[in-house]
Every structure is written in C-alpha cells, then in structure tokens.
Chains A and B, each alone.
Chain A
Amino acid sequence: MKDENVLEIKNLKVSFPIHGGLFLRKVAEVKAVDDVSLELKKGETLGLVGESGCGKSTIGKAVINIQRFTSPDVQIEGEVWLKTDTGEVNITNLTNKEMRKYRGMIQMIFQDPYSSLNARLSVGQIIEEPLLYHTDMKKQERSEKVAWLLEKVGLQPEQSKRYPHEFSGGQRQRIGIARALATNPKVIIADEPVSALDVSIQAQVINLLQDLQQEFDLSIIFIAHDLSVVEHISSRITVMYLGKIVEVGIGEEVYHNPIHPYSQALLSAVPLPNPKFRDKKRIILTGDVPTPINKPSGCVFRTRCPIARPECATFIPVLEEKSNGSFAACPFVNAGEHIESTINVN
C-alpha cells in the first residue's frame, strides 16, 4: 500500500448468485463488480460515475462491508485495504463482528435522505448513535458533540430534539452527513448523496461536503450518475461500465477530454448550459446495456462501441496510461482523439 493512500481496492469482484430449478441450485450469477482496482489518496475526492446498474453502489457497499448484511449470499472476492492507526487491514472478508472496530474510520452517506434516517429516533439520537458504539463519552459530552456537529452541517443545535419527519430533504441529508462525521472517519463513501435532492439544494449539500472535507481532512469516494456534479467535486474521476472500470483520470481531464469511447459517449450526453458549445456532435450509442448475467466476451463495451473491431471479442482490455495520469481500458484510442459519431444528431 502506497503511503499517500488511505484505501486500496485490489481486484474486487462482487457477484450475486441466481438460484433456480427444483432445488434452488445456482444457475447463473450477476457479476455486479468485475475485477475492479482503485486507490483513494488521502484528502482527495474520487468520483465514481456510470449509468444505473454498472456497479457503483455495489462497490461502495462492498467497501464498507454491508453488502453481506443486505444480501447474505453475495460472493465477494479481492481485497480492500484500509489504512488505520494501527496498520493496514484487509476488510473484505471480515465478519460483521470483526468489522465493528473499523466502522468508525469508514462511514457512508446514503442516497435516500428519507429512508436512511430512522423515523422513531430524534435527530440527536440519530447523530449520537455512532458515538455510542465507538467512544465511551458521557451523555453530556455526546450531546455537546451532537450540537457541535449540527452546527458544522449548518443546522441549529436546538433542532436535535426534533424528529426526521420535521425536516426537508436537504436538511435530512445534512443530518446524514453529521452522523457520518460523528466518529471522525478518514474515509467517507458518499453513495449518490445528492441525487434525491433538487438542483439548488444539491449545490448547497455539495459545497457543504467540500468545506467539511477540508476541515476534517476527509477522503471521499463520491458515487454519482450526474457528471457535472462529479466534475465539480472530484479530483479524480473513475468511469465504470458493466462492472468494469473503463477510464480513470484527473477530474477536469476526464470531463473535458475523455479518452475511452464509452466516456466520450457518456460525456457527449451531458447537457451544456452554454449554447456556443452546442454544435458539438453527440455520440449516440445503439442498443441497450447487455445484461450483467451474460456479459459479452472480451471488451464488455464492444457490442455498442462505435469503433469496435473483430479482435475486441478476443481479449479483455486492461487500463493503460494514455497521457499523464489518465488511464483508459481500450488499446485503440489515444489521448486527444475524438471518435467520429456515426449518427449525426442534427
């Protein structure tokens, strides 16, 4: 593990078996995450983008080790190394009991601000919950910490007596952020934290996350499907397609000069606010995303790729460095090359 990394994911594979037949044998499996390696540097925000079902959230849940709780028969291979005060630990295969002592160091912000807060508990009780498990603070100290955290996320300390249903979506997401910060974690996994909020609130919550990242020295894995949101917050962006990483690079670079054909297609779909740039050709992909139960051989993107060749079916492309800090999993494109759209939008 490199020194500046706080989290390293090595060859992570997550698959969900499908049972069928008379005796519920395993008949197939969904390879939600297929051989993914990532590293998260200290203090950086790593954006993880891709369309629905590409395995972004599954990576998040596997890293934080709650995937086994929600779907007990999931199969997880590979390694997730977390840097802790006492050394590095591989947290992939820890049982829930063994994992408990590392939970304070890696926390998650959930997607849905409505269902991620227990409606029966007051805000104070929700935020102090991680303190109960990871510290031995007295009641008084805990309520002081809760008040301090509430102020940090832009709410009022008096609101700790209130219940979640008395808050708006954005306020609830702030409560979720305060809860995630309670134990001073090193790593935060933000699983689409703003996709359930409307645009003006999204900006507030993202700016809040950025401020808190500086103040608490957080390393964030930011999962989203909204590219402009990811570009705004991330120092590096990872693009995923069908459980595989197709491109990793510096945020601005990936956003403005994507290399991999899929990234180019994805980014050409982002609506541009400036009409001057609207003459840019869109790359329209044909067909649907193949089912993750039965993926195409070789390159998973070849069935929809505008520059696919016959040999794409024969080998699985690996990430190669295309330019300084930019990696793409396609041997047939180079940095700065733009794919000619086969279909003209206009």
Chain B
Amino acid sequence: MAEKELTSKPENTNESKEISTSVLMKRWKKFKTLKRGYYSFLVILFFYLLSFAFPLLINKDALIVHYEGEYYFPVFQFYDAKTFGQDRPGETNYRILKQEFSNQDGDNWVLMPLYPYSPNENLLEEIPGIPPHPPTMQNFAGTDDRGRDVFARLMYGFNISISFALVVTMFSYILGVVIGAILGFFGGKIDIFGQRLIEIWSTLPFLYVIIIISSLVQPNFILLTVILTLFGWIGITYYIRGEFYREKAREYVSAAVSMGAKNRTIILKHILPNSLVPIISFAPFAIVGNISSLVALDFLGFGLPPPTPSWGQLMDQGLQNINNWWLVTFPLIALFLTLLCIVFIGEAIREAFDPKVYSRLR
C-alpha cells in the first residue's frame, strides 16, 4: 500500500526556540496593544495605588514638625495644640502653625503634605463666611455646605469607590462562580432546583431591601458589601452555568474523566479556566455598575455613614445647592472620568479576549 511508504516522521517539526506563550499571555499581549484601554488601565491602577498614599499627600496633619530642636511626625501620631505652644483647644492646626512659625522667624518649621486639607475637616475657622465656599487657589474645588474641602473629599472618595467596587465584584464573582459551577457541572435535579431557588431570590427587590435594612441599622462598608454581594452574584451564575454545560461536553473533559481525574480536578483544572472568558470580559463593567450603585445609594442617603467622603453624598449636596456650580461639576467630572477609564479597560479586555479575532465591529 502507498501509505506504508510514507514515513512515520512528524509532519513539520518546529525548530525555533522562541518562548512559547499560553493563551492568557497572548491575550495580555493583545490587551497591551490596545492603547486606549491599556493606558486607561495604567492610569486607574496608578491612581488607585497612589490613593493608598493619600494620607501622606492630602492631609491636614503635617508630615514633619521641627519645634525647638526636636522632630515631630504628626501624620503618625496625635499631638494636642499645647505641644507646639498653640493657644487653642484640642488638635493642632498645622496650617496655622506653619504661618506662626514663619512669622516667628526662628528655626522652627513645618513640612505640610502637598495638599494640606483633610476630607472631614471643617475649614470655617480659616475661611470666613457661610459655606459652601467657591474654589480658590488654596481649595481647588471649594468647600461643601459644611465647610469641608471638596477636592480632598473627592480624592478620598475615589479610593473608597474603587475599593468598594472591587470588593463587591470579587465576592459576587466568588459566590457566582461557585454556585454556577455546581449547577452546571452536576446538572440534573441539582440544576433544576438550584435554578428555581435563584429565580426566587432574584425577585427580591434590591432597593427596597436596602431601604428597609438602612432604616433598621446604619449601613457601614462591610454591611453594604454584604448586601450588594448578595444581590450581585446571580448574573454570574448564569454565565458560568452555561459555560460549564458547554465545556463539560467537550472532548478534553471526557479525556480527563477517562484518565481518572476527580470531579474537583476536572472542575478546577479543566473546566473553570476555560469558562472564565465571559466573566473576565464582564468584570470591568461589573465594577462600573458597582461604583454607580454605591454612588446611587449614597445619593439617596442609604449608603455609607455621613462623615465618609463619598461621591454620591457630594452629588446630593450639589443637588441641594444647585447654584454652587463646583458642588455639581467636580463630583460629576470625577465620576465621569473614572467610569470612562474603566469602560475603556473593559472594551480593551473584551477585544483582547475575543475568540474571533477578526470579527470586530469597526
């Protein structure tokens, strides 16, 4: 037979020694080529990491005080006003202290952070008149109706918004993936009853539950995370369940079973990594949704407790003081830019993870 004359050699051996890339690495490389999304990712990542250093950058407490030959670090430790010879009750006002020291002309000095105002600090002592105060060179974005610096509140609010959205997204994903994986992998009765329970749960009206809970207890960061997680996982189970149903029928899963893999190995090593694409592409949009949820809840007054610097609460003030343009404009700009960047990231991820590379809508 002619076939026997053909050798048993491999058809084309790849001689090149270049480093081989996994599917994930390929997608990361593709993501890096999508400049708009990649730069948005870098910007958001940079600001988010930077926001953890805000106590050193945006703070009313001085970084270093040199007073009568000794060094003090008020950022890390509390000193009352008498320590530096200030005649006032309670905390030292370091901005005033700095002016006093420069007037004294001695070798006492104060090193203030870059932006020397705190988000929860009342500035009525230094800025006379009825708040809100319009923007000045000192207070970039003016003050709110209690005389607190809007710029500092916006900056700290950024950290809280992103942290909150990340935590809620992470926990809803964990819950949704676990439940969706169980439904999709085991199927049958577990799936039918599980789906019905999810449908019942999903009919609970989210906003009313929040309002009822908020009227009973003052919600804090943890309680809000729990509530939003409890309502946020449902959509994820649908994706994961569907992916598990599809992937389970593919031959590599049959191969894993025929090799003797345990259910746990099949789920974690084989099916799960192959079913994450839809929820990874969905993640930035979930984060956008969660930021908006927090803003909405804060706006309605069911969100984080009052002194917390939050964007929704600032917008609520903006609505009440609609003539003070800075209270409306700056929170909206901050929210808009943040959400825009994250949506850009989401679009780039979606394109990078698209299995059909040439089917972009252009």
Chain A interface (Cβ < 8 Å from any Cβ of B): 61, 64, 66, 69-70, 72, 96, 99-101, 103-104, 107-108, 110-112, 115-122, 129-130, 133-134, 154-156, 158-159, 161-163, 165-166, 168, 170-171, 174, 176, 179, 183, 200-204, 206-208, 211, 232
Contacts and interface: CB of A to CB of B under 8 A. Distances in A.
Contact of B260 (A104, A158, A207): A104
Contacts of B260: 99-101, 103-104, 130, 133-134
Interface residues of B, number: 40
Contacts of B250: 115
B8 to A, nearest CB: 5
Given A110-B254, A179-B255, A207 B20 contact: no
Contact of A156 (B13, B22, B188, B262): B13
Interface string B1-22: 1111011111111100100111
26 contacts: A66-B254, A66-B258, A70-B248, A72-B187, A100-B260, A100-B262, A111-B251, A116-B255, A120-B270, A122-B20, A133-B261, A154-B9, A154-B10, A159-B14, A162-B14, A162-B20, A163-B22, A166-B14, A166-B20, A176-B255, A203-B3, A204-B9, A204-B10, A207-B7, A207-B8, A208-B8
Contacts, number: 121
A208 B4 CA distance: 11
B257 interface: yes
A129 B254 CA distance: 13
Given A155-B10, A174-B10, A70 B23 contact: no
A242 to B, nearest CB: 24
Nearest to B3: A203
A119 B269 CA distance: 11
Nearest to A176: B255
B156 to A, nearest CB: 40
A140 to B, nearest CB: 21
Nearest to B270: A118
B273 interface: yes
A104 B259 CA distance: 7
A134 B263 CA distance: 16
A144 B139 CA distance: 68
A53 to B, nearest CB: 18
B20 A161 contact: yes
A220 to B, nearest CB: 15
Contact of B256 (A112, A129, A161, A204): A129
Contacts of B258: 64, 66, 103, 107-108
A119 B22 CA distance: 8
Interface of B: 1-4, 6-14, 17, 20-24, 187-188, 248-252, 254-263, 269-270, 273-274
Contact of B20 (A99, A119, A163, A232): A163
B251 A206 contact: no
Contacts of B252: 115-118
Given A116-B252, A201-B11, A203-B6, A179 B22 contact: no
A158 B10 CA distance: 14
Given A134-B260, A204-B6, 10 more contacts: A66-B257, A110-B251, A115-B250, A121-B269, A154-B8, A156-B13, A163-B20, A201-B11, A204-B8, A207-B3
Contact of A232 (B3, B7, B21, B24): B3
Nearest to A121: B269
A207 B4 CA distance: 7
A163 B3 contact: no
Contact of B259 (A117, A119, A133, A165): A133
A110 B249 CA distance: 13
A69 to B, nearest CB: 5
Contacts of A64: 258
A209 to B, nearest CB: 10
A154 B9 CA distance: 6
Nearest to B186: A72
B259 A129 contact: yes
Contacts of B14: 159, 162, 166
Contacts of B249: 70
A115 B256 CA distance: 12
Given A104-B260, A162-B20, A179-B259, A120 B273 contact: yes
B251 A120 contact: no
Contacts of B10: 154-155, 170-171, 174, 204
